[in-house]
Amino acid sequence: MQNFLGEFYFFIEVLISGLLTGTLYSLIALGFVLIFKASGVFNFAQGAMMLFAALSFVGIQEKLGVPWPVAFVLAVLIMVILAYLVDKLVLGKLVNQEPIILFMATIGITFFIDGFGQTVWGSDIKVLDIGIPTGPLFIFDILIDKLELVAGVVAGVMVAGLAIFFSKTKVGRALRAVADDHQAALSVGISLHHIWIIVWSVAGLVGLIAGIMWGTKLGVQFSLSLVALKALPVLILGGFTSIPGAIVGGLIIGAGEKLAEIYIGPFIGGAIENWFAYMLAMVFLLFRPQGLFGEKIIERV
């Protein structure tokens, strides 16, 4: 009985930590969703943007010696400038192209930001510490990572904020209009360029926040952009167009991969997390090809 209870506790512990890790993935997936929702672009550069934002944030602190809130504001400013440039130099020139071409353009952006960020801020590892609590927390002897708890709260706040932004503000409504139909939005006087700049800036902000959370966990270095690969299954599971989907997807993927690693992994050799997340997402997709919360794909000939 004691043993069974112990096992049960362990199961709960794995489940909770999986769910919390999942919210960390969600933070990155959110950035993808925002841009896909508003412009139909699968933004390959989201991981690079996260790295760039975090690098700028730490770099500004290091080089200018300013307190972190100031650095935060400056980093947001940098991301806004980046959004402006992306619209001006890349997307603005590719209006009306097929999705795959826009996707490729974001690959180009990825390379550019990766190179540029490292040129400006260097590629050595940087410590990011702005006082986010880290370390363990034991509740009934169940281990919880404080950082992940904070990440969960941050993700919740961001989703709520974005939901309000999309449904209550004028800009948000304009965003949804653009997402529904570019031409119709244009004809009622919504500027596509403004909308894209706003969306990319917001995605940059989301990237910055995700970058700060992950940077606290890993230190700011090139590997940070690899984290984006962890967000892709979350994204397809939740659906490319749904903000709550990103959160729910994150929870499912996070819990799923941890449970699989611990309960299936040892029998087949371990280290299955990476592909298991993708397999899980693929199985879900077989039943709902547009993801859990994605908009239904209607095809006509």
Kindly identify the residues of this chain, within the stretch 168-187, that bind another protein according to CB under 8 A: none
DSSP 109-155: HHHHHHHHHHHHH-SS-B---SS---SEEEETTEEEEHHHHHHHHHH
Indicate whether 8 belongs to the interface with another protein (CB under 8 A): no
Near another protein in 189-248, by CB under 8 A: 217-219, 221-223, 226-227, 229-230, 232-233, 235-236, 240
Residue type, 134: T
Cα 59 to Cα 242: distance, rounded to the nearest angstrom: 33
User: Locate tokens 């990825």: which residue?
Assistant: 110
Q: Which of 49, 145, 211, 242 binds another protein (CB under 8 A)?
A: 145
**Span between the terminal Cα atoms of the chain, in Å:** 62
Write the interaction track for another protein spanning residues 33-72; mark x where CB under 8 A is met and - where it is not. Answer: ---------x------------------------------
Residue closer to another protein, measured from CB, 74 or 90: 90
Least distance to another protein, CB of residue 168, Å: 30
Tokens of 109: 């952006």
Taking the alpha carbons of 171, 172, 178, 181 in that order, is the dihedral positive or negative?
negative
Indicate whether 95 belongs to the interface with another protein (CB under 8 A): no
The answer for residues whose C-beta is within 8 angstroms of residue 174's C-beta and 6 or more apart is 185, 190, 195
Indicate whether 149 belongs to the interface with another protein (CB under 8 A): no
Q: Which of 88, 111, 161, 167 binds another protein (CB under 8 A)?
A: 111
Indicate whether 278 belongs to the interface with another protein (CB under 8 A): yes
Collapsing DSSP to helix, strand or coil, 293 comes out as coil
The C-alpha R_g of the chain, in whole angstroms, comes to 20
Pick the stretch among 163-171, 203-211, 244-252, 262-270 that binds another protein (CB under 8 A): 262-270
Least distance to another protein, CB of residue 174, Å: 25
Indicate whether 295 belongs to the interface with another protein (CB under 8 A): no
Indicate whether 100 belongs to the interface with another protein (CB under 8 A): yes
Indicate whether 81 belongs to the interface with another protein (CB under 8 A): no
Cα 113 to Cα 169: distance, rounded to the nearest angstrom: 31
Least distance to another protein, CB of residue 175, Å: 20
Helix/strand/coil (H, E, C) string of 42-83? CCCCHHHHHHHHHHHHHHHHHHHCCCHHHHHHHHHHHHHHHH
Residue closer to another protein, measured from CB, 53 or 117: 117
Least distance to another protein, CB of residue 218, Å: 6
Q: Which of 74, 80, 85, 104 binds another protein (CB under 8 A)?
A: 104
Indicate whether 14 belongs to the interface with another protein (CB under 8 A): yes
Pick the stretch among 54-62, 65-73, 74-82, 115-123 that binds another protein (CB under 8 A): 115-123
Give the closest residue to 243 by CA, choosing from 163, 139, 182: 163
